A = this chain, B = another copy of it.
Amino acid sequence: MPIYNAPLADMRFILNDVFQAEQFWQANENLAHVDAATAEAILEEMAKFAQNVTLPLNRSGDEEGAHFENGKVTTPAGFKEAFHQYAQGGWIGLAADEEWGGQGMPKMLTVLADEMLFATNPSFMLYPLLSVGAGMALSSYASQEQKETYLPKIYSGEWSGTMCLTEPHAGTDLGIIKTKAEPNSDGSYQITGTKIFITGGDHDLAENIIHLVLAKTPDAPAGSRGISLFIVPKFMVNADGSLGERNAVGAGSIEHKMGIKASATCVMNFDGATGYLVGKENQGLAAMFVMMNYERLSMGIQGLGASEFAYQNAAQYATDRLQGRSSIGAKSPEKPADSILVHGDVRRMLLNARANNEASRAFAVYVGQQLDITKFSTDPEAVAKANNRVALLTPIAKAFLTDTAFQATLDAQMCFGGHGFIREWGMEQCVRDLRIAQIYEGTNGVQAQDLIGRKTIKCDGEFIAEYIAEIRDFANELDTDLNFIKDATLDVATEIEMVTQRIIERAAENPDFSNAAAIDYLHAVGLLSFTYMFARIANAAYGKQGEFYTNKLSLTHYFIQRVLPDLNSRILKIKAGCEVIMGFSEDYFTSQS
């Protein structure tokens, strides 16, 4: 049975030592209700929930999967009780406004709570996650009446939420969706169409499901500027908040997937279902994008959670597994063989994962802090700056964190040898469950295109320049004892600055340049971000006594020596340009000549 011990020590270190969270919270009147003790208590409670409730349901949920019968989805054994307990604990509304029954906690704290749930049971986590996403879109765009009707029930877990975007022919390109919304005389709409890949589209966890649906009204302009957002409840809601009759929406089937099998991924059929417009007509995509920055960070957290889970299990297995001998003489001559930890290559795999976890965790908290500034700060200049930072870093949080985490879970699986391939040890499930995080909420390739296009070329590099300025300021303040990380940070910053300039110039000559360079640029900026996080980690650990802190410095060395070199190949690939790539005819790909 796989293990999981919530990494509370590192979480504490990152919140308190690296980011001085309490100071930040207390300095903001809208966050003054949060202090270090509250944060600590929340993390400890979530650790218990993750270790005792969701972890034991992870493998059984995978084995059993979600069921679909007679148009109804039922979740695997134990999920209903766990969801009820989760809702009772107030976890769904942890970050939601107190006005609607939430706890008003900052994102820089909730990312850490989310990590534990993603680590122990990603399939389970997706159910409340979609509720939170729906709640967030409603908070920003819905009418007061709609908020009053839906938000308290969603945050209490009585009802849940979905996001209905994708259609069979339209995923990334939502401009070509076909779902129709025809106005009724009473101001509501008739929604007709088919949506696919709808997480939690049906289930037995809550009394009602509130679908947020993108659709086109009859005279909507073509493309993405003609999309509206609608509320479509599974059961109609009476004026007193009680449930009425069943709406004309239902699951047609569920997908059979590589992983997250306990999460019901539904085909949803809308057969003239009653829907209610959220916000204004044709502005639905903007409403969906409100929650995107939050959701996309969540996918990065899914990666982090999986990578931490995988690391802990692989480290334990490697410690226990006796095989071969150290090349510098037996370490445990009294045993038939040494632990495989004597092999540098096994350590390399574990350290890759651990360096990824610690940098990712710091980065998630950092992006969470930026989101908190956008939401809670009263200083318009700070908000504007944080908005730019969030815009820049969201694709990194989603795509870089899931790419590196996936590699980390593969490394961890490899530490098990053949045992990593069989179900018993949980590693193969971890890999299967995580793979989707690179794909959904916009594939990582789409994230990379967002970063290099809208977030960099379009603003002429302003966002990245601001980020680099902050990083330089920080690095320049580091103690001379930390020159190894200071120099690396400044070097990387300059490399990114130069390559960004080159990208902006080359893309102006040939727009195809940017898409061909996108994924390498995303990884390059991701490596800059991890370097910055290690600079902050090293700075926080420097001068403190104890192995905990000296190990942070050693891990920083490891990152610089063994992970950061990937930057070189990324930059060479960016510079290679797009001529060869775009030079092949379309026919080439499917022909053998």
Instruction: Give the B-binding residues of A (Cβ under 8 A).
Output: 5, 7-10, 166, 169-173, 176, 196-197, 255-259, 265, 312, 315-316, 318-319, 322-324, 326-328, 336-337, 339, 341, 343-351, 354, 413-414, 417-418, 420-424, 428, 431-432, 435-436, 438-440, 443-445, 448-449, 510-519, 546-548, 551, 554, 557-558, 561-562, 565-569, 572-573, 576-578, 580-586, 588-590, 592-593
- Whether B561 contacts A348 by the Cβ 8 Å rule is no
CB distance from A348 to the nearest CB of B (A): 6
A324's closest neighbor in chain B, by CB? B173
Known: A324-B173, A327-B512. A315 touches B590 (CB 8 A): yes
- Whether A318 contacts B423 by the Cβ 8 Å rule is no
- Whether B566 contacts A580 by the Cβ 8 Å rule is no
Is the contact region of chain A dominated by helix, strand, or loop, or is it mixed? helix
Known: A345-B516, A421-B258, A584-B347. A511 touches B569 (CB 8 A): no
Chain B residues, CB < 8 A from A589? 315, 318-319, 341, 347, 350, 354
- Whether B580 contacts A558 by the Cβ 8 Å rule is yes
CB distance from A335 to the nearest CB of B (A): 10
Within the assembled complex, what's the spacing in Å between the Cα atoms of A312 and B438?
Answer: 22
Chain B residues, CB < 8 A from A580? 554, 557-558, 561-562
- Whether A512 contacts B417 by the Cβ 8 Å rule is no
- Whether A344 contacts B586 by the Cβ 8 Å rule is no
Chain B residues, CB < 8 A from A422? 255-258, 265
- Whether A344 contacts B578 by the Cβ 8 Å rule is yes
- Whether A515 contacts B448 by the Cβ 8 Å rule is no
Known: A169-B322, A337-B173. A519 touches B561 (CB 8 A): no
Q: State the copy count for this chain.
A: 2
- Whether A581 contacts B558 by the Cβ 8 Å rule is yes
Within the assembled complex, what's the spacing in Å between the Cα atoms of A582 and B312?
Answer: 19
Task: Show 23 A/B contacts (Cβ-Cβ < 8 Å), sorted by A.
Answer: A7-B592, A173-B324, A176-B322, A257-B422, A257-B423, A259-B421, A316-B590, A327-B511, A327-B515, A328-B512, A343-B449, A344-B516, A344-B578, A348-B516, A421-B436, A428-B435, A546-B593, A547-B585, A547-B588, A561-B573, A562-B576, A565-B568, A565-B576
CB distance from A325 to the nearest CB of B (A): 8
Known: A256-B423, A323-B170, A445-B345. A10 touches B592 (CB 8 A): yes
CB distance from A142 to the nearest CB of B (A): 27
Known: A323-B171, A345-B519. A565 touches B554 (CB 8 A): no
Chain B residues, CB < 8 A from A173? 323-324, 337
Within the assembled complex, what's the spacing in Å between the Cα atoms of A519 and B349?
Answer: 10
A518's closest neighbor in chain B, by CB? B345
CB distance from A105 to the nearest CB of B (A): 23
- Whether A562 contacts B551 by the Cβ 8 Å rule is no
- Whether B339 contacts A584 by the Cβ 8 Å rule is no
Within the assembled complex, what's the spacing in Å between the Cα atoms of A346 and B584?
Answer: 13
A566's closest neighbor in chain B, by CB? B569
- Whether A420 contacts B439 by the Cβ 8 Å rule is yes
- Whether A593 contacts B547 by the Cβ 8 Å rule is yes
Within the assembled complex, what's the spacing in Å between the Cα atoms of A576 and B424?
Answer: 36
Chain B residues, CB < 8 A from A518? 344-345
Chain B residues, CB < 8 A from A515? 327, 343-345
Chain B residues, CB < 8 A from A546? 593
Within the assembled complex, what's the spacing in Å between the Cα atoms of A575 and B557?
Answer: 14
Within the assembled complex, what's the spacing in Å between the Cα atoms of A349 and B519?
Answer: 10
Within the assembled complex, what's the spacing in Å between the Cα atoms of A524 and B512?
Answer: 30
CB distance from A221 to the nearest CB of B (A): 14
- Whether B586 contacts A341 by the Cβ 8 Å rule is yes
A315's closest neighbor in chain B, by CB? B589
- Whether B258 contacts A428 by the Cβ 8 Å rule is yes
Chain B residues, CB < 8 A from A354? 589
Which one, B336, B444, B519, B593, contacts A9 given CB within 8 A?
A: B593
Kindly name the residue among A176, A323, A354, A557 whose own CB sees the greatest number of chain B CB atoms within 10 A. Answer: A323
CB distance from A68 to the nearest CB of B (A): 14
